[in-house]
Amino acid sequence: MKYELNVAHLYGDLLNTYGDNGNLLALKYYAKLMDTDLDIQIVSLDEKFDPNAWDVVFFGGGQDYEQTIVSKDIQGKKDDLTDYIEDGGPMLAICGGYQLLGHYYVGADGEKIKGIGALDHYTLSQDDNRFIGDIVIKNKETGEVYHGFENHNGKTYLGKGERPLGEVESGNGNNGEDNSEGVVYKNVYGSYFHGPILTRNGELAKKILLTALKRKYPNADLSSQEQLTIKPTF
Ligand code: GLN
């Protein structure tokens, strides 16, 4: 392979529900088509997140209990993660991970679970309800349509500088109220999609990998990577 990217799997040993780890398999698959090797490592409790060591970050979803554990530890990584994000580092955060990038998440039992506030959203709890089911959204800017499956208690409300990953065409999305699903902030993509999102939406995998390659190899000719056609898998 011509290129190599270092992928941090944030708290991959704690937050890994609903096949979210499949996103890493999908990322590997598309990376191979782009002549790129991925070196994937878990960065978990008590380990430093070095913003200069990683080219892609994946942060999956989890149960409230695991989220409370991660919530405490991640405060020590807050500055480094914020630096990585502000510097344009690509990241995919699903469900619980997406919630913890924001200010807080109120869990199903009412406990306020602190996030890092690197992104300006916050997440409330529903009363005795979860949003569960198939979901389809459309990104207004790119026209891209994403398919997935959502399963979450949290209702997320976007804040400053945040755009939704898409408008809900069917399903519930961030909160079931404002028609938004997920988030785009700089090169961070957040979503409630399990499924996993990248196996069903290869365009997003391509986008994340291209961003990472352009950052790491600014002088490389990446035209063949850019031309890679993604076949719909839904
Ligand atoms: N525990 C969180 C919620 O229920 C996140 C769930 C998840 O990551 N699937 O909203």
Distance, in Å, from the CA atom of 5 to the CA atom of 157, rounded to the nearest integer, reads: 32
**Residue 30, SS3 per DSSP:** helix
The CA dihedral of 130, 59, 182, 128, to the nearest 10 degrees, is 10
Q: Which pLDDT belongs to residue 234?
A: 66
Confirm whether 234 is domain-assigned. Answer: no
Pocket test for ligand 1, best of 14, 63, 126 (most atoms within 8 A of CB): 63
Q: Is the pTM of this model over 0.95?
A: yes
ipTM of the complex, rounded to two decimals: 0.93
Point out the annotated binding site: 130
Task: Tell me the backbone φ, ψ of residue 172, rounded to 5 degrees.
Answer: -110, -45
Pick from 9, 20, 70: which is nearest to 45 by CA? 70
Catalytic residue among 9, 103, 121, 194: 194
Point out the annotated binding site for substrate: 130
Distances from the Cα of 180 to the Cα of 102, 124, 185, 201, angstroms: 16, 15, 14, 18
Question: Ligand 1, closest atom to CA 95?
Answer: 8
Pick from 99, 94, 109, 108: which is nearest to 189 by CA? 94
pLDDT tens-digit readout, 167-211: 999 999 999 999 999 999 999 999 999 989 999 999 999 999 999
Question: Ligand 1, closest atom to CA 61?
Answer: 8
Query: Ligand 1 centroid vs 182 CA: distance in angstroms?
Result: 13
- CA nearest ligand 1 atom 8, residue: 61
Confirm whether 58 is domain-assigned. Answer: yes
Confirm whether 231 is domain-assigned. Answer: no
- Token code pair at residue 78: 């807050």
Assess whether 147 carries a catalytic annotation: no
The response to whether residue 64 sits with its C-beta less than 6 Å from ligand 1 reads yes
Assess whether 152 carries a catalytic annotation: no
| Mean pLDDT confidence for 24-37 | 97
Confirm whether 136 is domain-assigned. Answer: yes
Burial class (CB in 10 A: 0-12, 13-18, 19+), 5: buried
pLDDT tens-digit readout, 62-101: 999 999 999 999 999 999 999 999 999 999 999 999 999 9
Q: Which pLDDT belongs to residue 232?
A: 75
Count other Cβ atoms within 10 Å, centred on residue 119: 26
What stretch of H or E contains 69?
helix 64-74
Pick from 215, 194, 206: which is nearest to 85 by CA? 215
Confirm whether 98 is domain-assigned. Answer: yes
Confirm whether 43 is domain-assigned. Answer: yes
The response to whether residue 96 sits with its C-beta less than 6 Å from ligand 1 reads yes
The response to whether residue 70 sits with its C-beta less than 6 Å from ligand 1 reads no
Distance, in Å, from the CA atom of 169 to the CA atom of 182, rounded to the nearest integer, reads: 13
Residue 229 CA to chain centroid, in angstroms? 22
Confirm whether 214 is domain-assigned. Answer: yes
Q: How many domains does the chain have?
A: 1
Is the confidence at residue 212, as pLDDT, over 80? yes
The response to whether residue 152 sits with its C-beta less than 6 Å from ligand 1 reads yes
**Residue 226, SS3 per DSSP:** helix
Catalytic residue among 9, 95, 103, 121: 95
Query: Ligand 1 centroid vs 154 CA: distance in angstroms?
Result: 6
Look over the chain and give the mean of its residue pLDDT values, rounded to a whole number. Answer: 96
Higher pLDDT, 91 or 234: 91
Distance, in Å, from the CA atom of 164 to the CA atom of 223, rounded to the nearest integer, reads: 28
Pick from 74, 76, 159: which is nearest to 119 by CA? 159
Find the radius of gyration of the CA atoms of the chain. 16
Confirm whether 184 is domain-assigned. Answer: yes
Count other Cβ atoms within 10 Å, centred on residue 41: 13
CATH of residue 57's domain is 3.40.50.880
Is the confidence at residue 218, as pLDDT, over 90? yes
- Domain, as residue range, for 182: 3-226
- CA nearest ligand 1 atom 5, residue: 96
Are 96 and 15 in contact by the 8 Å Cβ rule? The answer is yes
Q: Which pLDDT belongs to residue 122?
A: 98
